Amino acid sequence: MWYMNEERQLMQNIAKEFVENEVKPVALEIDKKDEFPLKLFKRAGELGFLGVTFPEEFGGLGGDNTTLALIIEELSKSSPVLAVAIGAHSLLAGGMLNMLGSPEQKEKYLKPAATGEIILACGSTESAGGSNHIEHNTKAVLDGDEWVINGGKVLISNIHYANAYVVLAVTDDKVDPVTREGMSAFIIDADTPGFEVSKPEVKLGWHGSSTGTISFKNCRIPKENLLGPLNGALRAMFVSVRDEFLSCGPMGLGMAEAAYEMALNYSLEREQQGQNMYDRLQVTRHKLVKMFTEIQTLRALVYSSYALKDQGHLALAEGRMLKVKGAEVSEYVAREAIQIFGGVGTIVDTGVERFWRDAKVLAIGGASVEALNEQIGYMIRNKMV
Ligand SMILES: Cc1cc2nc3c(=O)[nH]c(=O)nc-3n(C[C@H](O)[C@H](O)[C@H](O)COP(=O)(O)OP(=O)(O)OC[C@H]3O[C@@H](n4cnc5c(N)ncnc54)[C@H](O)[C@@H]3O)c2cc1C
């Protein structure tokens, strides 16, 4: 492949070996038990997967973005939810810390996060709506040397397992609808008095991602836990979430490849009237051809977008396009894979239907594809693409 080099190949081989020996044997059980993949997450830290692009001085590998994409693709072929947990930790919360953190904050939080010593989560969404920041109510008020936080966030990943949360709160009268000024980011340790975590929700997919509500009741944190510019968190987040959006490309790609491989093998093995399904039924063959074509199209978009990012481009629109396309292709391929399996495709133990459930959630978790298309539309209108 044009995007491979020796270093990337090495990391991809490590990821493949990890998946084959440690992830595959437990991936279906994690989905069935809805259990956070803690052991795999810690192993991912030991292998360097949690801090691929973090600077070496803060425990990262100082690697490039394409290497990260290759790792996410491999993990997602077997356990998409492991990739989700890493996304919330390394890309959402870790990304904000890496971009906005002071050297002291990076030393305290980014460094142990890079190795998996601590787990991070990121809280932005409120019940008013994920992208409706104008009506978000969580407020932070400065009182002497402390920020006092009140309010709550919903649908937050990695709850209960996270040691620290990067949280957005209103720090002005309200968020300005035009400039988006008025919201700031804070680092909150999970054991801070006044900070509470709900029971995880039971969800359609992403089983094991431990998603739920966090709330703040007069939660006092030190003044120095403000992360980045006062009132400027939304502008910063517009850039930092790009990396999480980008990662939905290789995540969707890995899921689609896994579902396709399972369906292809099944069609070659399943015999009816003395012939396998692939050779007997043109409709099955054509389904697989279309699935394969969609996968190769997504692969081209994923690695050309990551190449752009590695060349120093901001890739704001590309990030959003990868999230949309990654969700669409994986949902389509997984849906068709279930169809090729027929009745057994609907049985959880077959292991194919979970890719469809996870792909459906990918179109919403982190940001809905419709909200992202609106942002891409804005960028097209303003010649930012
Ligand atoms: C499993 C899971 C994990 C998550 N993890 C996290 C996390 O770790 N941290 C975090 O902060 N959030 C997290 N989220 C929240 C996620 O970001 C939001 O669910 C998402 O942004 C959509 O917001 P909403 O659910 O409030 O839907 P709403 O805002 O109520 O939107 C409902 C629908 O309306 C449409 N819509 C809404 N706004 C727009 C718009 N601006 N333009 C066009 N159409 C629009 C879309 O079709 C959307 O699906 C997670 C969500 C899920 C499901």
pLDDT reading at 238 higher than 90: no
Token code pair at residue 162: 């996270």
Which amino acid residue places its CA nearest to atom 29 of ligand 1?
A: 129
Active-site annotation, residues = 244
Pocket test for ligand 1, best of 251, 364, 375 (most atoms within 8 A of CB): 364
Q: What is the pLDDT of residues 37-87, one digit of tens each?
A: 999 999 999 999 999 999 999 999 999 999 999 999 999 999 999 999 999
pLDDT at residue 240, as a whole number: 84
Q: What is the pLDDT of residue 134?
A: 93
Q: From atom 47 of ligand 1, which residue's Cα is the shortest distance away?
A: 370
pLDDT band at 205 (very low <50, low <70, confident <90, very high): very high
CA distance 262 to 251: 17
- Per-residue 3-state assignment (H helix, E strand, C coil) for the chain: CCCCCHHHHHHHHHHHHHHHHHHHHHHHHHHHHCCCCHHHHHHHHHCCHHHCCCCHHHCCCCCCHHHHHHHHHHHHHHCHHHHHHHHHHHHHHHHHHHHHCCHHHHHHHHHHHHHCCCCEEEECCCCCCCCCHHHCCCEEEEECCEEEEEEEEEEECCCCCCCEEEEEEECCCCCCCCCCCCEEEEEEECCCCCEEECCCCCCCCCCCCCCEEEEEEEEEEEHHHEECCCCEHHHHHHHHHHHHHHHHHHHHHHHHHHHHHHHHHHHHHCEECCEEHHHHCHHHHHHHHHHHHHHHHHHHHHHHHHHHHHCCCCCHHHHHHHHHHHHHHHHHHHHHHHHHHHHHHHCHHHCCHHHHHHHHHHCCCCCCHHHHHHHHHHHHHCCCC
- 157 in contact with ligand 1, CB cutoff 6 A: yes
The CATH number of domain 6-118 is 1.10.540.10: yes
Assigned CATH class of 121-230 = mainly beta
d(CA 336, CA 263): 8
Q: Are 194 and 161 in contact (CB under 8 A)?
A: no
Band of pLDDT at residue 373, cut at 50, 70 and 90: very high
Q: How many whole angstroms separate alpha carbon 38 and alpha carbon 54?
A: 21
Mapped onto helix, strand or coil, the DSSP state of residue 324 is helix
Structure-block tokens of residue 365 = 């978790």
Which bin fits 129, alpha (ψ -120 to 50), beta or left (φ > 0)? left
Cβ 210 under 6 angstroms from ligand 1: no
Residue 314 CA to residue 29 CA, distance in Å, equals: 39
Radius of gyration of the chain measured on its C-alpha atoms: 21
d(CA 36, ligand 1 centre) in Å: 22
- Please tell me the distance from the alpha carbon of residue 331 to that of residue 271, in angstroms, as a whole number: 27
Task: Locate 186 and state its tokens.
Answer: 């804070």
Ligand 1 center–CA 155 separation, angstroms = 9
Q: Is 119 left (phi over 0), alpha (psi -120 to 50) or beta?
A: beta
Q: With beta carbons less than 8 A apart as the criterion, state whether 3 and 69 touch.
A: no
Residue 155 Cβ < 6 Å to ligand 1: yes
Domain edges within the chain: 6-118, 121-230, 235-381
Say yes or no: CB of residue 212 within 6 Å of ligand 1: no
User: Phi and psi of 196, rounded to 5°?
Assistant: -130, 150
**What is the whole-number distance in angstroms between the Cα of residue 360 and the centre of ligand 1?**
13
Geometric angle at alpha carbon 316, from 249 and 241, rounded to 5°? 70
**Ligand 1, atom 40: nearest CA belongs to which residue?**
371
| pLDDT band per the 50, 70, 90 thresholds, residue 213 | very high
List the residue whose alpha carbon is closest to atom 35 of ligand 1.
370
- In this prediction, residue 239 has a pLDDT band, given cuts at 50, 70 and 90, of confident
Q: Is the CB of 364 under 6 A from ligand 1?
A: yes
Per DSSP, 114 falls in state H
Topology (CATH) of 235-381: Butyryl-CoA Dehydrogenase, subunit A; domain 3 (1.20.140)
Task: Judge whether residue 189 has pLDDT over 90.
Answer: yes
Q: What is the DSSP letter of 232?
A: B
Q: Which pLDDT tens digit goes with each residue over 146-188?
A: 999 999 999 999 999 999 999 999 999 999 999 999 999 999 9
Contacts of 300 (CB under 8 A, 6+ apart): none
